[in-house]
């Protein structure tokens, strides 16, 4: 187990709660208003997102989300894939790594004006906070992640 913590914003009162990752599975509640947090996925693998599940899996995620917009024919996306797997393992419980197939889910891709592949979208508290295009190295993606994970 890890002694890492994660900041989770309460949907009821807006308070930010710092919770040990090791306790995320114990149905934590907001320290101020005692509202239970929604179930928090601590999966160590990327989650496949569709137009139908995007709102729930990304916008309503208590954890920050890194979403990869990709397509089967995109060779750069293939190169990025093992890096995303690696990030999902490294930041399990602190970050959700999601993947959106843009050919099968055009509504979400259009909503965020995804023009080139791969495109990485960074979400926190239901808002798009950063966009990065191209098959970036792991260290560069982590530079985008730091502000999401630490504030
Ligand atoms: Zn609260």
Asked if the model's pLDDT at residue 129 lies above 80, the reply is: yes
58 and 19 together in one domain = no
> Rounded to the nearest whole angstrom, what is the distance from the C-alpha of residue 32 to the centroid of ligand 1?
5
> Rounded to the nearest whole angstrom, what is the distance from the C-alpha of residue 7 to the centroid of ligand 1?
13
pLDDT digits (tens, 9 = 90+) for 79-101: 999 999 999 999 988 899 999 99
The beta-strand segments (E) located in the chain are: 5-9, 16-20, 47-49, 65-70, 96-101, 119-124, 127-133
51 and 30 together in one domain = no
Q: What is the mean pLDDT of residues 105-110?
A: 97
36 and 53 together in one domain = no
10, 30, 69, 77: which one is catalytic? 77
> How far, rounded to the nearest angstrom, does the alpha carbon of residue 75 sit from its chain's CA centroid?
23
Please tell me whether the peptide bond between 118 and the residue prior to it is cis, using omega within 30 degrees of 0. yes
55 and 80 together in one domain = yes
Measured CA to CA, the distance from residue 79 to residue 137 in angstroms comes to 10
Residue 4 — very low, low, confident or very high, per pLDDT cuts 50/70/90? confident
Which range marks the domain in which residue 3 is found?
1-40
16 and 51 together in one domain = no
pLDDT digits (tens, 9 = 90+) for 22-76: 888 788 899 999 998 876 767 789 999 999 999 999 998 888 999 999 999 999 9
Q: How many domains does the chain have?
A: 2
23 and 55 together in one domain = no
> Rounded to the nearest whole angstrom, what is the distance from the C-alpha of residue 147 to the centroid of ligand 1?
23
Convert 61-71 to b/e letters by CB count within 10 Å (16 or more is b). bbbbbbbbbbe
The predicted structure's pLDDT at residue 47? 94
For residue 30, indicate whether it is catalytic.
Answer: no
> Rounded to the nearest whole angstrom, what is the distance from the C-alpha of residue 85 to the centroid of ligand 1?
32
Of 43, 38, 39, the C-alpha closest to 11 is 38
62 and 125 together in one domain = yes
The predicted structure's pLDDT at residue 151? 58
For residue 74, indicate whether it is catalytic.
Answer: yes
């Amino acid at each position: 187990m890890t002694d890492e913590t994660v900041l989770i914003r309460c949907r009821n009162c807006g308070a930010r709660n710092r919770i040990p990752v090791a306790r995320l599975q114990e149905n934590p509640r907001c320290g101020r208003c005692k509202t239970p947090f929604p179930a928090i996925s601590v999966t160590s693998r990327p989650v496949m997102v569709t137009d139908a599940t995007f709102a729930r899996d990304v916008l309503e995620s208590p954890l920050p989300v890194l979403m990869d917009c990709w397509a089967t024919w995109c060779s750069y996306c293939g190169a990025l894939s093992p890096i995303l797997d690696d990030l999902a393992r490294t930041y399990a419980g602190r970050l959700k790594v999601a993947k959106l197939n843009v050919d099968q889910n055009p509504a979400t891709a259009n909503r965020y004006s995804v023009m080139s592949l791969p495109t990485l979208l960074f979400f926190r508290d239901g808002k798009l906070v950063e966009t990065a295009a191209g098959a970036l190295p792991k260290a560069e993606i982590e530079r985008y992640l730091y502000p999401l994970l630490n504030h």
